[in-house]
Chains A and B, each alone.
Chain A
Amino acid sequence: MPAVIETHDLAKNYGQFGALQGLNMAMPQGSVFALVGASGAGKTTTIKILLNMIAPTRGHATILGVDTRAIGPNLLSQVGYVSESQALPGRLRVEQFFDYLRPCYASWDSGLELQLRRQLRLPPSRKINALSHGMRLKLALACAMSFRPRLLVLDEPFSGLDALTRDEMIGEFLREPREMSILISSHELDEVERLCTHVAFLDEGRLLFQGTLPELREHHGGPGSSLRNIFVSMVSAARAGR
């Protein structure tokens, strides 16, 4: 399978602190790829580099075959993004936000938009600032999926959500078979395990493992081992070795 995302020796320093230290990673097309790590492991930094929000200190990456430093409107029209830290235009009403985005994407599917808005119960006349955290994430998700992106990037999408909303998002939207690849960063391992086909473990800016879930279990745990147990043991071993 060709890779939708590739990173080569990707590094990012904030002053003396190395947030990312030589990351080499490849995400296969059509996969649900989980970037797993504790807080500060480098997940968000990786995603921000992939979307050209920040520049890497060293190395380079490609997304859908395009160097991240050369990302333009054409590529961004194929990538959906949802993040807990995403600053949506808060003074716009939900309806206005959809009105704004619709002409930006040639592939926008108004039918899908209506379906998502109905399913997620998004109040059209409410201002985005007045939405709860969970509703804001749902709005971002609806906006990110309405144009049928080739790649959906989710940065900590379950953070701060109640169990009901998490189940709703995973069950109704993310697990539905669609023709897109999903990159999801999270430290919520139970939710990730329900979703992903591939996984990469990050710790302190370093990659500990990447592969499919069966590969992970085969090499680092038993057939019934949970993702949580494998991750904890791998991180503990890695830190002990440093």
Chain B
Amino acid sequence: MIWAVFRKDWALLWPIAVLVTLIQVALEWASYQFGFFGVSPVAREIMRLLTPAWFIGVIALAVVVVHEDTIPGVDQDWLIRPLSRTDLLLAKLLFVAVTVCAPMLVVNIVDELAQGFPFGPSLGYAVYKELYLFVCLLVPAVALASATRNAVELVVLVAGLLLLYVVTVWLSAALLGPARCPTCETSVTWIQSLLQHCGILVGSAVVLGFQYYERRTSLSRVLLAAGVVLLVVVQLPWNVAFAIQTWLGAPLGTAPAALQITAGETTIAASTAGGRNRQDNAKRATQALLQGDVDAAVEIQQSMRRNRTVPVTFTVPLQVRGATHNEFLVVDRADFTVLDMQGVALYRGSRPEKKSAPLSTDATGTAIQTFEMPAAVYQKLRGRAASLVIDYSLTVRALVAQYKMPATGGELRAAQIGICRSDADASASIIRCRQFGRPPNCYTATLYAPDGRHNPEVRNCGSDYRPYIPSPLNIVSSAGVDLPMRDSYGVAHYDVDGSQIQDSYIVMKVYETGEHFQRRVTSPLQPE
């Protein structure tokens, strides 16, 4: 029966399936033409236009095939045919797999082979991509479609769910502030994201079950709405997410136990006004809102309300011992508590930056950490001895590979970084790398002249610890840095200025993420 339904759907929908495949082929062609250095404006324009067209096309195909045999209603022909519900559902999923995933698998493999990647990994990563697409995009689209009769109903349902999502985010952000999503925009966001993907998949499976086996459309729609709310509300606490990340961490570089981190005395710096006046903040909140970042907008708005008085900035010198020169520490999060002498907590806060940042130390191994507290809290502290307890979530990053390649016209193939090519224009030497899967989490590049002189090191470090491809729809990840060597305004001077670019070379250092750990440090605080 699966085959009978599939053939019927194919007879009806083959023009759309062919169109979607043509879009896929055009996109891959454009991606290939785009090349390492992105020099083809035509390819760029084609990619810009066809990417949304492809997205709409695959979703439309998944929706239309379900709507050929709608679930809600009582007059559909399939209801009186000897079709098992399982066969009908499998026929729809098979159609989506065959018309969307199978052509894309072939096109992806051809593209990757053309780019110089070997067949084995090309096949493996392409299968991974199609599985991701199927499970995380197409199955949810099929589930949504199964709860509607036609495209109009689907659009209304999706619009309703989106509205519910925005309202839920707004409410939870207004009520909880930054605590709404402890892992958002951090290095462990991927764990929350993975959890959400699993939730979406389970929700889709439940809706498909209710629809195809029970035909309970009202209940399914309620479940979809509940799922949207849960998607926003269920958030992993930071400590849980970081514990999972710690459990996944691999030993690399110095073991955390061998690292000594101590804090010197906390110093109250001058008031900073947060660096911005109210007008700036209002502008930032509006911009965040326009970009759809509701969380950020609400946070700025709340900080404006909170900080009518200027926050007080204080700095803590951290002494780090035990790390070698081929590794460095990254601060993923720092929560602090101000305690009075009796140990009573007077204020709790976090470092304002959410993204992970290297703990940059000077030659003596000292790193200066900056925190803020409201002026009103500081006023209460005046004249009283207190202490500052900081709970750090930290990560070790260690050098794993070092490569050398010509500054222009060079090619490098290495397991850690994939295929890299170098080029140069009038102002910079450019490196672009392509690799299957996740690009290196952190790498640096330095431009050297033949005589050993070199320009400042350029660092490119991400703050995402996910162990898999960041965007599974782009299985070949791109990375790269520009190494400046000439300033057209004549302000900056570079030791390696491009005059010997043909003989110059680049040294690339690749750092990988090692173990994650938490450490508590205490610092005396003596307000003026």
Interface residues of A (CB under 8 A from B): 48, 51-54, 72-77, 79, 81, 83, 85-89, 91-92, 96, 99-101, 103-105
Q: Is the CB of A89 within 8 A of B75?
A: no
Residues of chain B with a CB closer than 8 A to A96's CB: 8, 11
Inter-chain CA distance A73–B82, complex, in Å, is: 4
Q: Is the CB of B76 within 8 A of A87?
A: yes
Inter-chain CA distance A86–B74, complex, in Å, is: 9
User: CB-CB contacts of B57-84 with A at 8 A, as 1s and 0s?
Assistant: 0000000000010000111110111111
Min distance, Cβ A78 to any Cβ of chain B, angstroms: 8
A-B pairs with beta carbons under 8 Å apart, 7 shown: A73-B1, A76-B83, A86-B77, A89-B77, A92-B12, A96-B11, A104-B81
User: CB-CB contacts of B73-107 with A at 8 A, as 1s and 0s?
Assistant: 11111011111100000000000000000000000
Q: Is the CB of A85 within 8 A of B75?
A: yes
Q: Is the CB of B80 within 8 A of A100?
A: no
| Residue in B5, B11, B80 whose beta carbon sits within 8 Å of that of A76 in the complex | B80
With A73-B83, A79-B80, A104-B81 already in contact, the answer to whether A99 and B7 are too (CB < 8 A) is yes
Residues of chain B with a CB closer than 8 A to A54's CB: 74
Chain A CB within 8 A of B55 CB: no
Chain A CB within 8 A of B56 CB: no
Min distance, Cβ B227 to any Cβ of chain A, angstroms: 25
Min distance, Cβ B182 to any Cβ of chain A, angstroms: 45
Chain A CB within 8 A of B4 CB: yes
Chain A CB within 8 A of B494 CB: no
Q: Is the CB of A104 within 8 A of B12?
A: no
Residues of chain B with a CB closer than 8 A to A105's CB: 82
| Residue in A73, A85, A91, A103 whose beta carbon sits within 8 Å of that of B84 in the complex | A73
Q: When A and B form their complex, which 6 residue pairs have the shortest distance between CB atoms, in order from nearest?
A: A77-B82, A73-B82, A100-B8, A76-B82, A81-B80, A53-B74
Chain A CB within 8 A of B3 CB: yes
Inter-chain CA distance A75–B82, complex, in Å, is: 7
Interface centre among B5, B73, B74, B76 (most CB of A within 10 A): B74
Min distance, Cβ B487 to any Cβ of chain A, angstroms: 64
Inter-chain CA distance A74–B87, complex, in Å, is: 13
Q: Is the CB of B82 within 8 A of A89?
A: no
Residues of chain B with a CB closer than 8 A to A81's CB: 80
Residues of chain A with a CB closer than 8 A to B12's CB: 89, 91-92
Residues of chain B with a CB closer than 8 A to A85's CB: 75
Q: Is the CB of A51 within 8 A of B80?
A: yes
Residues of chain B with a CB closer than 8 A to A48's CB: 74
Residue in B closest to A100 when the chains form the complex, CB atoms: B8
Residue in A closest to B70 when the chains form the complex, CB atoms: A87
| Residue in B73, B74, B81 whose beta carbon sits within 8 Å of that of A101 in the complex | B81
Residues of chain A with a CB closer than 8 A to B11's CB: 92, 96, 99-100
Inter-chain CA distance A77–B87, complex, in Å, is: 15
Min distance, Cβ A96 to any Cβ of chain B, angstroms: 5
Q: Is the CB of B8 within 8 A of A92?
A: yes
User: CB-CB contacts of B270-288 with A at 8 A, as 1s and 0s?
Assistant: 0000000000000000000
Interface centre among B7, B73, B77, B79 (most CB of A within 10 A): B77
Residue in B closest to A82 when the chains form the complex, CB atoms: B80
Min distance, Cβ A139 to any Cβ of chain B, angstroms: 11
Interface range, B side: 20 to 34
Q: Is the CB of B75 within 8 A of A83?
A: yes
Residue in A closest to B3 when the chains form the complex, CB atoms: A103
Inter-chain CA distance A74–B84, complex, in Å, is: 9
Inter-chain CA distance A92–B83, complex, in Å, is: 18
Q: Is the CB of A100 within 8 A of B82?
A: no
Residue in B closest to A54 when the chains form the complex, CB atoms: B74
Min distance, Cβ B303 to any Cβ of chain A, angstroms: 52
Q: Is the CB of B83 within 8 A of A104?
A: yes
Q: Is the CB of A100 within 8 A of B7?
A: yes
Inter-chain CA distance A6–B441, complex, in Å, is: 70
Given contacts A79-B80, A83-B75, A100-B8, 5 further A-B pairs with CB under 8 A are A52-B79, A86-B77, A92-B11, A101-B4, A104-B81
Residues of chain A with a CB closer than 8 A to B75's CB: 53, 83, 85-87
Residues of chain A with a CB closer than 8 A to B79's CB: 51-53
Residues of chain B with a CB closer than 8 A to A89's CB: 8, 12, 68, 77
Inter-chain CA distance A73–B12, complex, in Å, is: 24
With A89-B12, A100-B8 already in contact, the answer to whether A76 and B81 are too (CB < 8 A) is yes
Residues of chain B with a CB closer than 8 A to A74's CB: 82
Residues of chain B with a CB closer than 8 A to A79's CB: 80
Inter-chain CA distance A30–B133, complex, in Å, is: 53
Inter-chain CA distance A77–B84, complex, in Å, is: 11
Inter-chain CA distance A60–B68, complex, in Å, is: 31
User: CB-CB contacts of B15-26 with A at 8 A, as 1s and 0s?
Assistant: 000000000000
Residues of chain A with a CB closer than 8 A to B80's CB: 51, 53, 76, 79, 81, 86
Min distance, Cβ B120 to any Cβ of chain A, angstroms: 39
Residues of chain B with a CB closer than 8 A to A91's CB: 12
Q: Which of B376-409 contact A (CB under 8 A)?
A: none
With A76-B81, A76-B82 already in contact, the answer to whether A100 and B4 are too (CB < 8 A) is yes
Residue in B closest to A85 when the chains form the complex, CB atoms: B75
Interface centre among B12, B68, B82 (most CB of A within 10 A): B82
Inter-chain CA distance A219–B11, complex, in Å, is: 55
Min distance, Cβ B91 to any Cβ of chain A, angstroms: 11
Min distance, Cβ B213 to any Cβ of chain A, angstroms: 12
Residues of chain A with a CB closer than 8 A to B84's CB: 72-73
Q: Is the CB of B77 within 8 A of A88?
A: yes
Q: Is the CB of A87 within 8 A of B83?
A: no
Min distance, Cβ A154 to any Cβ of chain B, angstroms: 12
Inter-chain CA distance A75–B5, complex, in Å, is: 19
Inter-chain CA distance A88–B84, complex, in Å, is: 18
With A92-B12, A100-B8, A104-B4 already in contact, the answer to whether A87 and B77 are too (CB < 8 A) is yes
Q: Which of B1-47 contact A (CB under 8 A)?
A: 1, 3-5, 7-8, 11-12
Interface centre among A53, A83, A99 (most CB of B within 10 A): A53
Residues of chain B with a CB closer than 8 A to A92's CB: 8, 11-12
Min distance, Cβ A135 to any Cβ of chain B, angstroms: 16
Residues of chain A with a CB closer than 8 A to B73's CB: 87
Q: Is the CB of B74 within 8 A of A104?
A: no
Residues of chain A with a CB closer than 8 A to B68's CB: 89
